[in-house]
Amino acid sequence: QVQLVESGGGLVQAGGSLRLSCAASGSKSSILYMGWYRQAPGQQRELVAQITSGGSANYVDSVKGRFTVSRDNAKNTVDLQMNSLKPEATAIYYCNAELLVGARIADYWGQGTQVTVSS
pLDDT in tens, 8-41: 999 999 999 999 999 999 876 788 899 999 999 9
Distances (CA, A) of 105 to 6, 101, 112, 114: 22, 6, 21, 27
- Of the candidates 33, 88, 73, the one whose C-alpha atom is nearest the C-alpha of residue 56 is 33
* Confidence category of residue 95, pLDDT binned at 50, 70, 90: very high
pLDDT in tens, 71-86: 998 888 999 999 999 9
